[in-house]
Amino acid sequence: MTYPESKSADQKIRLTLNITGMSCQGCVSKVRKLIQEKSPEAIIEGIPKEHKLVVTSDLDLAAIEASVQKAGYQSLGLFDNSEPAHPDTRQEADQANTVSKEQISTDKVDSSFSYQFSIGGMTCAGCVNTVQKALSNSEDVISADVNFANHTAQVVSKGSSDALIKAVEDSGYQASLILDAEKSEEERGERELAEYHHKCKSSALGLGLGIPLMLYGLLGGNMIVSSLSDRFVWFAVGVATLLIMVSAGKHYFRGAWKAFTSHQANMDLLIALGTASAWLYSMLVVLVPISWLPDSARHLYFEAAVMIIGLINLGQALELRARRKTSQALHRLLDLRPKMATRVDGDMESRVSVADIRVNDILRVRSGDKIPVDGEVLEGLSTVNESMLTGEAAPIEKSAGSLLSAGTVNGQGSLLFKATRIGSDTLLAQIITMVGKAQNSKPPISVLADKVSSIFVPSVIIIAILTALAWFNLSVFGMGNDSVFSYMLVTTISVLIIACPCALGLATPISTMIGIGKAAEYGGLIRNGDALQRASELTVVVLDKTGTITEGKPKVVNETLSEQAHKGFVAQVVSALEARANHPLADALLEHCQTDAAEKESVALDEFKSLVGLGVKGSIEGKAYYLGNERLMKEKGISLDLNTYDKQHNAATRVYLSDEAALMAVFYIEDPIKQGVKSAISNFKQQGLKVVMLTGDNPETAASVANMVGIEDYHAQLMPNDKLNWVKKLQAQGEVVGMIGDGINDAPALAQADVGFAMGAGTDVAMESADITLIHNDLNGVADVIQISTATLRNIKQNLWGAFVYNSLSIPIAAGILFPFTGWLLSPVIAGAAMALSSVTVVTNANRLRLFRISRSNLESTEEGK
């Protein structure tokens, strides 16, 4: 493949493409790597929520779109605001825009939509592959993921939902569009409860007849037809068996017929073939003349048919019961949403449904009430428990101007507030949506299981046929021809029943749902299964300093005054100068001097001037004052020698105040380290992770902070691009890098990292710029999420290993491989029980994750005690 000739560095073009299919920064990262293979110096930024991809490179539009398509996404051309990165190339960019507009005008361009469907009728991993294939092959579908654990499908398509529902129904299953997450969860719960009761009744019917028949045979009863009276008795038993098979197992036969007519193969087909074969053979023995069959071939298997139906129904009932616990985290989030709210209209107050609230409505929340929507406090004073959203146990004080989040609980006080975000726009709704989508996603480790399960059922049918042929043709085991048909039937039915891939289909999604829900409980919102798996593979954690290790709010920790300076006057001068300044430390100085300045009358500035890179200058009553850094003092010839110079805060940023002749004061400003950071760093190290700090601050401050929190590897005075290059360098060394930042300033490095962690309050920007979002500001949350992801992947591997081993061992045993050595064949009844228990075992093992508890460093309790 050939690419366009590279342009010089000053001929790069900045193009903004309209991309469909990208859902997160992981998608952007995938596109970035493919574009940078063609143009290593290209700068790629993405905003998935707005379907935007901004590319600054020397590539033309066609080359960029080819990379986008290769990554699995679709370009709809350029947005109107694309522009050249250099004025000289404006004409070239205009031409690119012209081409794009012509393309857009001739092509049909539809926005992509994300649909979530509830899928009915799926019974195994084969069903999942059938539904996924039907959706993926539908017109205009960009991506489709089907989850067996909660029977849902997540589809991104440019087409209508009706077409997708029809595609599912044509494949033999049912689909309905999920419009309301809460209502869908309620309906799903009711549906699963009804299905659970139906499975229990069906199991009771099957086992009610099967167990007495089996006990009759085990206790020496005659299970063959040897006389006319036997034929009448067993004919009645056969009819009763058929009635139970129809009533308790009709869903299996109905599903098998749908699979057969749609040329698919699933678990229902295996069960239907196995049980129908046992019943038909037994009925044939009852109906044909006794002389037609030898004694050894007249054994009946009615008990096997109903026992298999009963045991599989029992296993699925137990599986349903265990599976209903997997989405408890999502249920708890949904339970946070209140149903009613108090709306204020003038002097009137009325109770309304939360669904009827509109933006800018005035609402009142009383003591103990849940806050219905996001809003801004207009009047009142109270405390609000935000622990579910922020992880902070202590209630937060709220007054006029404070922001409120839906689902949090008001304390002792009444608040009047204005609705700012409603419905799906609230923070809680975004979290619920993110958790729900993530639980439906698949980690890369599931690919192997999906490939195996897609061909598993047809392979099992082929193996069953080969088993029957082998028993029919081989008589080397010393058995007579009279026994051939009996052995054929037993082994063939056993292979069909025991090899059902239910356990394989459940191995990954069940653990993924629980793991992502568990992470949500600890305040970590994992975007998808890929991020879940990659988080468990991290070898290096890269941290930003400001806002991640430190609070991001500088404070004056000390001040030193000259002997001639008066504290109150110094505070007045600083307040007057900083009131007009716009540098980052102005707020810290103003807050520090506010109290002392308030004791005196404020001074008026005759003149004010901002000195770029130095500080500020002001004139009061004709006398000049300077407030700034060391370089400013040196330029003005001011001596910095103070007898009371503070050596304790060597790493602090110093701001100097002087008049035209002498130094008046030195202010020491530091950004406090967050509580819990030391224990988080210790936890990272205990997990075997290398910790690196990257900061744009000066080397002295970086060294001081790194030393205080226990980080040995740090790098200072870095621009955003430098951080990006450091992440690339670590990746080039074979490290799997997790980048922790605020989701905005560190966006390039967050996107480049294998896993990006956004700290903060869960804003839209943070959620879109990272693979994992921490909805509170505690760095321990990252360590917790990594622990949970590691435990989840370990659990998935246990499930997959168990499912593979189960099927690998059970099929040969069912086929009779042990018969030459032991004379033993696996009973179809035992095969049915083993198949049912395999699914229950996988679900039970996955549910162990719900009991997982985070282990943290002892430093945490030490820090809290200080």
**Which sequence positions are flagged as catalytic?**
544
- Token pair 């299905």 is found at 195
Contact 541, 738 (CB under 8 A): yes
Closest CA to 435 of 786, 762, 50: 762
Q: Name the DSSP class of 423.
A: G
Give me the helix-helix angle, 780-815 and 828-847, nearest 10°.
170
How far apart CA 112 and CA 110 sit, in angstroms, is: 6
Is the Cα dihedral 119, 124, 130, 132 positive or negative?
Answer: positive
Q: Is 353 helix (H, G, I), strand (E, B) or coil?
A: strand
CA distance 99 to 84: 15
Phi-psi category of residue 50: left, alpha or beta, with phi > 0 → left and psi -120 to 50 → alpha: alpha
Q: Nearest-CA neighbor of 304 among 497, 503, 468?
A: 497
40/36 Cα distance (integer angstroms) = 4
Q: At a CB cut-off of 8 Å and minimum separation 6, what does 349 contact?
A: 342, 343, 364
Q: What are the E-state strand segments in 441-554?
A: 524-526, 540-544
For the chain, what's the residue count?
866
Provide the strand spans (E) within 554-697: 555-561, 607-611, 615-620, 623-628, 653-659, 663-670, 690-694
Q: In 15-33, which positions are buried (b, 16+ CB within 10 angstroms) versus exposed (e)?
A: bbbbbbbbbbbbbbbbbbe
Listing DSSP states for 225-287 in one string gives --SHHHHHHHHHHHHHHHHHHHHHHHHHHHHHHHHHHTT---HHHHHHHHHHHHHHHHHHHHH
CA atoms within 13 A on the CB side of 400: 3
Residue 397's DSSP bridge partners are 383
The two structure tokens encoding residue 625: 């004052």
Amino acid identity at 377 = V
Contacts of 335 (CB under 8 A, 6+ apart): none
Nearest Cα to 141, choosing from 120, 121, 125, 165? 165
